[in-house]
Structure 1
């Protein structure tokens, strides 16, 4: 669906994917990709080309989320601008309202889609720079985030770097419910200690773009365990 809830006539906008039970489901999963050329539903174009859709896209996450009873929002944080008409002497890229940056996109999705969803219990999966988007949402909507988000699964996100300018209370709140499955030689889900705002576990793979695929079982086990405690 269109990202903007109030588009102006002929206004260029972005899009997101939303399941048809957003207004009725008790649980919601929000999926956020990393930075770069990937768009909604993709983890890595390289993996899509070389390994296939099962590994390079978010479809396995979406399918398992639906089976587990989650409504799903798939964000599109990298579609931030559009090129002005080519007939102009100096074409320029213009920001998309509500999606000028990855962080702005995430906060717009929270304000206009997550906030109004039926789900009282929200979990988030975020790869790489998606962790920075999570931190911004947690900062901007601290009280709501604390009340509704029961688990955050990150995949190879350098949260220590992203968290440098984030308020300590936000980092502490996130640390109580976030695990980062990082690129590492250890077996998947091996405890690797913690960082400033999350626990660290091995993704079971040493290559950055593979981490979302190899950690999927551990991530859904984590979500299931946290749901049982709600």
Structure 2
């Protein structure tokens, strides 16, 4: 099995060890069926046997096993939120900003100076699914651990480069009026939650596209950051291209680069063959895809004109983000350096003669 070395990021795992998934599950009706916690390596292990997660807990009872897995996923979501706030020191920001007291709200996470700092700003945009902010994929967390399934290694690497971070939450789209709470407080609730018919959309976040647009309009576009980059996985790539089409000039001026991972976007279809958008994506974006080729080897798609595309170094979709982490940040730093160099080259330089001329004209 291919594993990625996260030496520089391992220190956060020592801190996450001070938190506990078990504390969340102990108070539930599933405390015996979910007797698991993350070890110091960030791997999910049974507290008694030290074995990895067993999906087939109830023998040949698919529905019960699925519901148990869904409950575990809910607790992992709450645990990752704790890591984002206590390990990554991110702030939870509720939206819409003008919500009334009882109105359902969504939220996202950002670093303390994300809106005021002029340094680079990295936006993490996940795939579509049942998982929420801070996760690339639930199954990867359960099977491979926090280093491979969460966005925390990306956040920590950005912070080490003194970059600001915004973690979007594009899949938090609805609220269940029957429960009014996004948690499983009892076994009966856990069994009925997925089938609830009283879902209402959250204003400004009823879809991944709407959520991303709202955060762009109210936060990212107004931020002081001069250099914004996106890292978009799966459906998140389609969502970014939708944002690019809807806010073309703003995005082109503010975003200097995008790293796609197994993106599902279609530039031609979404942009209606807009040559300006196609040219911008070709020049400012790069994609890594699940592939049998070694990491960073060129991958050709005959039917898809897009941007330079490279192998993620793994054929496993869930491991693609962690596999190309180092390559993505190397690419973003290269693109940032090139942008800064161009800006310096194009900026007017005050020479001695021009200074004397200006002084003499006074």
TM-score under structure 2 length normalisation: 0.60
Q: Select the structure that is richer in helix.
A: 2
Query: Contact conserved, 2:241 with 2:270, CA < 8 A, in 1?
Result: no
- Number of equivalences: 227
CA RMSD of aligned residues (A): 1.7
Query: Contact conserved, 1:176 with 1:198, CA < 8 A, in 2?
Result: yes
**Residue of structure 1 equivalent to 2:332:** 223
Q: Following superposition of structure 1 onto structure 2, how do residues 56-67 of structure 1 map, counting pairs within 5 Å?
A: 56-67=149-160
Matched, 1:10 2:102: yes
**Residue of structure 1 equivalent to 2:232:** 126
Matched, 1:186 2:293: yes
Q: Distance in 2 between matches of 1:204 and 1:111?
A: 35
1:41 alignment partner, SS class: coil
Q: Distance in 1 between matches of 2:319 and 2:123?
A: 20
Query: Contact conserved, 2:237 with 2:265, CA < 8 A, in 1?
Result: yes
Residue 39 of structure 1 and its aligned partner are, at CA, apart by: 0.4
> Given the alignment, which residue of 248, 272, 277 partners 1:170?
277
Q: Following superposition of structure 1 onto structure 2, how do residues 1-230 of structure 1 map, counting pairs within 5 Å?
A: 1-22=93-114, 23-85=116-178, 91-160=197-266, 163-167=268-272, 168=274, 169-193=276-300, 195-230=304-339
TM-score under structure 1 length normalisation: 0.93
Q: Distance in 1 between matches of 2:280 and 2:320?
A: 24
Q: Distance in 1 between matches of 2:278 and 2:208?
A: 19
Q: Distance in 2 between matches of 1:36 and 1:99?
A: 15
Higher RCO (C-alpha 8 Å, min separation 6): 1
Residue 148 of structure 1 and its aligned partner are, at CA, apart by: 1.2
CA offset digits 1:117-174 (Å, max 9, x no partner): 11011000010000111011101111111111111001111333x6523232323322
Mean Cα displacement is larger for which, 105-114 or 188-197?
Answer: 188-197
Detail structure 1 runs of 4+ shifted over 6 Å in the superposition: none
Residue 91 of structure 1 and its aligned partner are, at CA, apart by: 4.4
Runs of at least 5 residues in structure 2 that lack an aligned partner in the other structure = 1-92, 181-195, 340-362
Rg bigger for which structure?
Answer: 2
Q: Distance in 1 between matches of 2:255 and 2:270?
A: 22
Mean Cα displacement is larger for which, 164-173 or 69-78?
Answer: 164-173
**Residue of structure 1 equivalent to 2:62:** none
Runs of at least 5 residues in structure 1 that lack an aligned partner in the other structure = none
